[in-house]
A and B are shown apart, each in its own frame.
Chain A
Amino acid sequence: MKALQVERSLARFAAARVASGWRPGAGGRYGPLALADIDPPEVPGPGWHLLFPRLSGICGSDLATVDGRSSRWFEPVVSFPFVPGHEVVADTDDGRRVVIEPVLGCEARGVTPPCLACSQGRRRHCENITGGHIAPGLQTGYCEDTGGGWSLALVAHESQLHDVPEALPDEAAVLVEPAACAVHAALTPVAGPTVQAAGSEVAAVVIGAGTLGLCTIAALARLRVGLGQVIAVAKHPHQRRLARQFGATSVVEPGEVRRAVRRSTGGWVHDNGQLSAGAPLVFDCVGSAASLADALAVTAPGGALVLAGMPGPLHVDLTPLWQREISLVGSYTYGPEALAGGRHSFEIAMQLAAELHFEQLLSATYHLDRSADAIAHAAEAGRRGAVKIAFDLRGEKKASIQAKDR
């Protein structure tokens, strides 16, 4: 079957890194990603399904991989060759339409008894992402055995599947996975003194207005109790429009964020542009050195900074983190949300996708054989007036793909 596959090739990763330094997304043409004709993945065991993707999104972490810019942190927790694609809406072999929750925890891996985290529903914290009866891989899309969404077929465990309501179009459903990440970030429990003291007037700042940022704004505006305002930082005009539509109370350009936060939260600006106060709750949905520096600069003393965008190795001055006792909290994937009465992030994301018509965020789709164009488009989505780019597998021939048991 047709699939886009990432090989472990140091030369290819190096070429991607060089090329993407010249133009983001160039790794799609010169890097480790290649269109291949491979066997469909084997069904690893009971409870697993063969899935046929309809749409599969291109995520920032995928781009980092394809451009050779991913952190080496991931090396032991992925297995090569792998087929990327974890933002997937697909048909199952038993006729359901589902989205995948890609984290591969103990249940999918057949590890018993499950680790403490999995037993508590915190699959994202699973201690066995390299164990069990499938190859290492923190998620579908990074695991040799499961395949990924950038192909005509993949396998997924029943525990990973969320049925898609009939009324929700594929174009909105493909946004559910990133939206679930945003829901999880927005509902991160933080209990800094500044957050508590702000009471019902908490100001939240969301830096970045790509898919993750926009969905975070939507989730904050609807789900986070006690928010007085949401200040969004958006670079491009279409992002600013969507940020407002999704609930941002003010939207500013990246260079304007510090003054915008001062205006909203009071305080002064010191001579070097440093704020005397700041926002109690800040979300970095970019994960770059610049965004993290801005985020640290606008977080109030005693406030919390949620790192939602996937960072890499960064050079950032952490003095404000220390001097202001800022809580830096990572936010990875999803799960039952304590601040939403235990509802699962996917369930909430599905609801947001329907209410806010997330299909409007899907800007363009490509066939697999135009992967280089798709990657280039995704890497420059903001500049090109786009939000989410996805592969469209609905027109591909799948008749010959059969489920194989291991």
Chain B
Amino acid sequence: MPRPGFVLEVDRSTPPVLMWHGEGYRLERLPADRSRVVYAPEPLAPLADPDEAIRRALLEPLGDSAPLPELLFAGMRLTIAFDDLSLPLPPMRRPDNRQRVIEAVLDLAAAAGVDDVVLIAALGLHRRMTDAELRHALGDRIFDAFSPSGRLRQHDAEGPEGLTYIGKTDHGEDVEVSRRVAESDLLVYVNINLVAMDGGHKSTSTGLMSYKSVRHHHNVRTLQHSRSLMDRPHSELHSSAWRIGRLLGQHVKVFQIETTLNNDAFPSNMAFLQKREWEWGVRDRASYLASSQGLSLLSPTARRNIFHSIKAPHQMTSVQAGEVEAVHTRTIANLHRQQVVDVEGQSDVVVFGLPHVGPYNVNSIMNPLLVMCMSLGYWFNMYIGKPLIRPGGVIIVSHPTPWAFHPVHHPSYIDFFEEVLSATTDPLEIEKTYEERFATDDWYRHLYRTSYAYHGVHPLYMWYWGAHALEYAGATIIVGGNRRAVRRMGFRPASTLADALEMAEDHVGRDPSVTYFHCPPVMLANVH
């Protein structure tokens, strides 16, 4: 029986705790008697027979939806969209959930005599996936059957010929979606719900729409009023996405299939990364010492290559299919079962150790903007109720934060970092002054459509993602980061965690209370 997550009060006997630091990790000692560590629940047992569970979900849908076989008929246009490479993290071992689910859907489609089937990677404004990445997510059989004939596509949010304008929501939000989707008799959306932010109408209203639509929910106002991003009923971003998704649903029949994973994120030889430190055995200690010593001898590039080759042993814990909202409600309940940890009260300081990978640097570099997005955007928002820190509290982040960008994946990030952040770090000012130019730049548009670049506006979204935390927290201190890069973002650099905790006292007073959010594995703090 997996143990639930819990909060450890740190005392003098508490051993040092493991803290991620990009492509590496450290053991850090926290101040006794005023610190606590939030540990994730242990991985839930996976579904015994995921393929059977998928089959049943398709045949016994939730909400107001017929079973999938009843929605399939010969001569129809069927589009199957699926989450892109930003999920799950780290990428999971084969077979990926998407492969299992899509194979099941295709079997039913074949049985119904459906010939016109197109697969679309729901990139939204993310970069295109490489063939290897697509093959990993979908499996060889699907890739080889669909890719050569052009029936495996990637959403293009910038190709006017490939988009259809549906209309406006009652809030004036434009709905412009992939033309193939708009002209389909049925859209089957296949999702992996790694965190509570994902799934539901957000899948389609982000992954399959154009900038004209996405901008309505990806903006400073919605992000500042999403409290949190992981708590849909209290998230303005989701409210907008829901309105857009509902309007889409009036034009296109959507059959949503959502899956959840357990938080078994690292292979057995790295099991110490998700164990509680006082339970480390000899093998765990040896693995920690050997790996941390070995990594310290390698170049950043070599370390990056090693970490990005990790495939997580995640396993499916649930699958649900049918009408979007009914499905998503069940999905979130299943996700909470794995991820929620109850936490009593807020602290003055929260500490995050960022790992090597986030949603936007799979097989890439976690550049400074992604460090900001991961810490102030994702980790800070991993709460229900209240943030882990009090208003005006301090966020401490451990990450090397190199002044380094992947030139192919993140070209507009470089410009954003050089130009925009040297002028202002105010999200509202950035949105007002720069968004349109970044969003409509021809070169970025070209690279997004034909190369492997994130959309021109994406770095601005990274900054918006942290807008709530920027407004809420008193300061952000980055431990062990490139000092110039850290300062460029308006944060304070510190050499060690001890220095950072001392610097935090400038903002929150002497002997502050500290919460260390021991993530990954991914969890969600339910702060009372």
Q: Which of A240, A251, A266 contacts B442 (CB 8 A)?
A: A266
Determine the chain B residues whose CB is within 8 A of the CB of A269 once the complex forms: 411, 443
Within 8 A of A (CB), among B415-446: 415, 418-419, 422-423, 437, 441-443, 446
A266 to B441, CA, bound (A): 7
B278 vs chain A, min Cβ distance (A): 48
B419–A263 touching, CB < 8 Å? yes
Identify which of B414, B423, B437 contacts A259 (C-beta below 8 A): B414
Partner of B418, one of A240, A259, A266, A267: A259
Residue of B whose beta carbon sits closest to that of A268: B443
Which residues does chain A contribute within 8 Å of B442, judged by CB atoms?
A: 266, 268
Which single residue of chain A is at the shortest CB-CB distance from B442? A266
CA distance A268 to B448 in the complex (A): 13
Residues of B within 8 A of A259 (CB): 414-415, 418-419
Contact across chains for B443 and A251 when beta carbons are under 8 A apart: no
Interface string of A256-271 (1 = CB under 8 A from B): 1001101100111100
Q: Shortest Cβ distance from B122 into chain A, in angstroms?
A: 27
Closest chain A CB from B404 CB (angstroms): 13
Q: By DSSP majority rule, is chain B's interface helix, strand, loop, or mixed?
A: helix
The distance from the CB of B102 to the nearest CB of chain A, in whole angstroms, is 36
The contact size tier of chain A is: 10 to 19
Is A252 positioned at the interface, with any CB of B under 8 Å from its CB?
Answer: yes
**Of listed A251, A252, A267, A268, residue having the most chain B CB within 10 A:** A268
- Chain A contacts for B423, CB-based, 8 A: 250
Nearest-neighbour CB distance to chain A for B489, whole angstroms, equals: 16
Complex-state Cα separation, A250 to B437, whole angstroms: 15
- Contact assessment for B418 and A268 in the assembled complex, using a CB-CB cutoff below 8 Å: no
Instruction: Give the CA-CA distance A240 to B488 in the complex, in Å.
Output: 14
**Are B446 and A263 touching (Cβ within 8 A)?**
no
Using C-beta atoms within 8 Å of the partner chain, give the interface range for chain B. 10 to 19
Closest chain A residue to B443, Cβ basis: A268
In the bound complex, how far is the Cα of B437 from the Cα of A240, in angstroms? 23
Q: Which residue of A is nearest B417, CB measured?
A: A256
With beta carbons under 8 angstroms apart, the residue of A240, A250, A266, A268 that contacts B419 is A250
Output the least CB separation between B486 and chain A (Å).
Answer: 16
- Closest residue to B412 on the A side, CB-wise? A263
Q: Given A250-B419, A251-B422, A252-B422, A262–B443 Cβ distance below 8 Å?
A: yes
Q: Is the CB of A268 within 8 A of B446?
A: yes
User: Is B443 a contact of A252 with CB atoms below 8 Å?
Assistant: no
Contact check, B422 vs A267: say whether CB atoms are below 8 A apart.
no
Q: CB-CB < 8 A to B446: which residues of A?
A: 268
Residues of chain B within 8 A (CB-CB) of A262 are 443
CA distance A250 to B422 in the complex (A): 10
Q: Which residues of B contact A260 (CB under 8 A)?
A: 415, 418-419
Mark A42-75 against chain B: 1 for CB-CB distance below 8 A, else 0.
0000000000000000000000000000000000
196-243 of chain A: CB within 8 A of chain B: 240
A256 B443 Cβ-Cβ under 8 A: no
Identity of the chain A residue whose Cβ is nearest the Cβ of B414 in the assembled complex: A259
- From B411, B418, B437, B441, give the contact of A256 (CB < 8 A): B418
CA distance A250 to B441 in the complex (A): 18
Residues of B within 8 A of A253 (CB): 418
> How far is the CB of A341 from the nearest CB of chain B, in Å?
35
How far in angstroms is the closest Cβ of chain B from A229?
12
Residues of chain B lying within 8 A (CB to CB) of residue A263: 415, 419, 437, 441
Identity of the chain A residue whose Cβ is nearest the Cβ of B434 in the assembled complex: A263
User: Complex: how many Å from CA A269 to CA B456?
Assistant: 14
Q: Tell me, in angstroms, the Cα distance from A250 to B414 when the chains sit together.
A: 16
Chain A nearest Cβ from B484, distance in angstroms: 10
Chain A residues whose CB sits within 8 angstroms of the CB of B411 once the complex forms? 269
CB-CB under 8 A from B441, the residues of chain A are 263, 266
Cα A263 to Cα B414 with chains together (Å):
11
CB distance from B450 to the nearest CB of A (A): 11
Question: In the docked arrangement, what's the CA distance between A252 and B420, Å?
Answer: 10
User: CA separation between A266 and B456, bound complex, in Å?
Assistant: 13
Closest beta carbon of chain B to A258's beta carbon, Å: 10
A262-B414 Cα distance, complex, nearest whole Å: 12
Question: A262: shortest Cβ distance to chain B, in Å?
Answer: 7
Q: Which of A294-312 contact B (CB under 8 A)?
A: none
Nearest-neighbour CB distance to chain A for B439, whole angstroms, equals 13
Nearest CB on B from A23, distance (A) = 25
Q: Give Cα distance in the complex from A250 to B418, angstroms.
A: 11
Q: Which residues of A contact B414 (CB under 8 A)?
A: 259
Q: How far is the CA of A56 from the CA of B2 in the complex (A)?
A: 80
- Cα A267 to Cα B419 in complex, Å, equals 17
What residue in chain A is nearest B438 (Cβ atoms)? Answer: A263
Least CB distance, B448 to chain A, in whole angstroms: 13
Within 8 A of B (CB), among A166-222: none
Cβ of B502 to closest chain A Cβ, rounded Å: 26
How far, in Å, is A267 (CB) from chain B's closest CB? 7
Residues B377-419 near A (CB distance < 8 A): 411, 414-415, 418-419
List residues 434-471 of chain B with CB under 8 A from any CB of chain A. 437, 441-443, 446
A147 CA / B249 CA spacing, docked (Å): 87
5 closest A-B pairs by CB = A256-B418, A268-B443, A263-B415, A259-B415, A263-B419
18 residue pairs from A and B, CB less than 8 Å apart: A240-B422, A250-B423, A251-B422, A252-B419, A252-B422, A253-B418, A256-B418, A259-B418, A259-B419, A260-B419, A262-B443, A263-B415, A263-B419, A263-B437, A263-B441, A266-B443, A267-B443, A268-B443
Sample of 12 further A-B pairs with CB below 8 A, known A253-B418, A259-B415: A240-B422, A256-B418, A256-B419, A259-B414, A259-B418, A260-B415, A260-B418, A262-B443, A266-B443, A268-B446, A269-B411, A269-B443
